[in-house]
Amino acid sequence: MGFWRRAEQDPSWTAVIEPDGTEVPAGDLLSRVNQITSGLRAAGLRPGDGIAALLPNSAAAFEVYLAALQAGWYLTPINWHFTPPEIAYLIADCGAKAFFVHERFAEVGMAAAALAEAELAAAGRPAPARFSYGEVPGFTPVERLREGQPTGTPADRTAGATMHYTSGTTGRPKGVRRPLSGLTPDEAADLGALLPMLFGVTEGQPNAHLLTSPFYHTAVTVFGGGALQMGHTVVCMESWDSEQALALTERHQVTNSHMVPTQFKRLLTLPEETRRRYDLSSMRWLLHAAAPCPEGIKRAMLDWWGPCIYEYYAATEGGGTLATPQDWLAHPGTVGTAWPVSQIMIADDDGGSCPPGRPGVVYMKMETSDFEYKDDPDKTAANRLNGFFTVGDIGYLDDDGFLFLCDRKSDMIISGGANIYPAEIEAELIMHPQVADVAVFGIPDADWGEQVKAVVEPMPGADPGDALAADILASLEGRLARMKWPRSIDFVATLPRDPSGKLLKRWLRDPYWEGQTRAI
């Protein structure tokens, strides 16, 4: 049915709960969505146009999202941690005809808009219209955009889409663009609900989704936006706080959420008395992805939360696998089997298919739709093999078709000709009680080519130094071959992760390789 029809039928349903606790009824949200749709149409936007949004987790983000999805526009949610030049690039590259900014991000939004306007003017292209939630100099308040516009259902509705950008670890980010379906928004919403339904997620009330990470991340948009389309109440967190996540789960009887392993680790480090304080029995589907989850962390979460933790592997580009709690317990460490609408292939360096148990490059394919990297046919073609695509991960399939990930190909360490996967080492190091976070990577070694380096973020109160490093290494005895042990451990206050939980390993590794070339 989608949000729009559900809101018409039950306007009193609480659609969104803001971070400050404000409850937004579905009927009110729908009225604003329809007014924004009509207002942007009056400003000249047509199906196929792009819009960009620099908005926090809030009803505002959902207003723009739902307007785009019922008017045939491409929506690009922008990372609010980016610098003005990075944001300006996205505004220009996605072809935004409208740019929405929240007053929380006024300074960076204004600077980015000015840079984008200058870039577009130099190319002879018009600048996007500017709209703000709250007061932002040089932007038109959204209230004025909505003013005088009808609250009823707009005519000629057609499904839009999100166009997220890849992380851009090498070169500038690229938009992952899919052809518009031509379906009605309601039909497209029904198809979009198929993915949450693969996990068993049910429609309608009483269901509540806890939004724990920024809405601009692909998975958060897919599952948070999907929850709203399925008639769930979306409970927004402004930023991650472990105890607050437990409190919100209990208070709003949250039934589903999406997290990353880093958040699991933060939850598990809460004092036992804090963890026992909250009733978490309402949670039925706690999904996680975005980074490898160490087996010890996963088992501890299952012991605590029960059999409600579902793992999956996917990419902004599409495709994926799913591991139910039962799957994972029967095949520890797996990220699951392919979705019904997806295929997985493991390829060797020559492009041939790897037999079960042999690691290779993981390739995926979605049977429902394809994609391209916007305005980059070379990159689109470079990541393809026989109709499949890859994001550069290494893994293998077992005899039953369950996928196991080893690491990113670009992160693999080659030491003395042996392949070493940092994720395996990180999974052991993170279990040390004084380790809050860890990164493992290869650094230059004159004899071996590369040696294993670990960078550790210690727990609060831990004393970083030689004694702690020795204790951490000693904990690996009998659990990890000595050839995989880090040759040295450095300590930092905080490891660099993006808000989606992905470790920005290049930031740590690149200084060691300055002036040298890695084999990978």
Residue 406 near residue 427, CB atoms below 8 Å:
no
Q: Which residues pair with 343 in a beta bridge?
A: 365
Q: Which residues contact 258 (CB under 8 A, 6 or more apart)?
A: 212, 213, 219, 220, 223, 224, 287, 288, 289
pLDDT at 517: 67
- Helical pair 242-251 and 261-268, crossing angle rounded to 10 deg: 90
| Average pLDDT, integer, range 319-340 | 95
Q: Starting at the edge strand that comes first in sequence, how are the strands of the sheet with 140-141 ordered? A: 140-141, 129-133, 96-102, 50-54, 74-77, 161-162
- What single string gives the DSSP state of each residue in 135-174? --TTSEEHHHHHTT---SPPSS-B--EE--B---SSSS--
The two tokens of residue 148 are 């005088």
The confidence score (pLDDT) of residue 169 equals 47
The span from the CA of 208 to the CA of 232, in Å, is 5
d(CA 216, CA 76): 8
- What pLDDT does 293 receive? 87
pLDDT band for position 23 (cuts 50, 70, 90): very high
Beta strands in 230-325 (DSSP E): 233-236, 256-259, 285-288, 309-314, 320-323
Please determine, looking at this structure, whether the domain spanning 2-166 carries the CATH number 3.40.1190.20.
no
pLDDT value of position 292: 76
Fold match flag (192-306 vs 415-513): no
Question: What one-letter code names the amino acid at 375?
Answer: D
d(CA 179, CA 296): 41
Burial class (CB in 10 A: 0-12, 13-18, 19+), 297: buried
Q: What are the pLDDT digits (tens) for 174-184? A: 899 999 999 99
For the chain, percent of residues with pLDDT exceeding 90: 76
Mean pLDDT for the stretch of residues 120-138? 97
Whether 61 shows a pLDDT value over 90: the answer reads yes
H or E, element range at 102? strand 96-102
Is residue 519 predicted with pLDDT exceeding 80? no
- Residue 150's CB: how many other CB atoms inside 10 A? 12
Check pLDDT > 90 for residue 497. no
- Read off the pLDDT of residues 343-392 as tens digits, 9 standing for 90 and up: 999 999 899 999 999 999 999 998 877 889 888 888 888 888 998 999 88
Q: Is 274 helix (H, G, I), strand (E, B) or coil?
A: helix
Q: How far apart are CA 328 and CA 79, in angstroms?
A: 32
Q: Which CATH architecture best describes the domain 192-306?
A: 3-Layer(aba) Sandwich (3.40)
Residue 490 identity: D
Helix 2-9 to helix 185-192 angle, to the nearest 10 degrees? 110
**Dihedral sign, CA of 341, 347, 353, 358?**
negative
Banded pLDDT at 171 (limits 50, 70, 90): low
What are the extents of the domains in the chain?
2-166, 192-306, 415-513
Q: Is the pLDDT of residue 32 over 70?
A: yes
| Both structure tokens of 236 | 């927004």
Q: Token match 């690996």: residue?
A: 476
- Give dist(CA 472, CA 175) in Å, integer: 41
| Residue carrying the six token digits 């000249």 | 44
Average pLDDT of 502-512?
87
Is the predicted pLDDT of residue 425 greater than 70, yes or no? yes
CA distance 270 to 200: 29
Per-residue confidence band for 300, with pLDDT thresholds at 50, 70 and 90: very high
Please identify, in words, the CATH class of the domain defined by 415-513: alpha beta
Cα–Cα distance measured from residue 59 to residue 362, given in angstroms and rounded to the nearest whole number: 37
DSSP 8-state secondary structure symbol assigned to residue 289: -
Q: What is the 3-state secondary structure (H, E, C) of 184-231?
A: CHHHHHHHHCHHHHHCCCCCCCCCEEEECCCCCCHHHHHHHHHHHHCC
| pLDDT tops 70 at residue 499 | no
The pair of three-digit structure tokens given for residue 424, joined into one six-digit string: 């395996």
pLDDT band at 167 (very low <50, low <70, confident <90, very high): low
Provide the pairing of β-strand 449-458 with 413-415. Answer: unpaired
Q: List Cα–Cα distances, 269 to 211, 275, 292, 305, 432, in angstroms.
A: 21, 9, 18, 14, 11
Where would I find the beta strands (DSSP E) of 315-402?
A: 320-323, 337-338, 342-347, 360-366, 372-373, 384-385, 388-389, 393-397
Q: Is pLDDT at 57 greater than 50 in this prediction?
A: yes
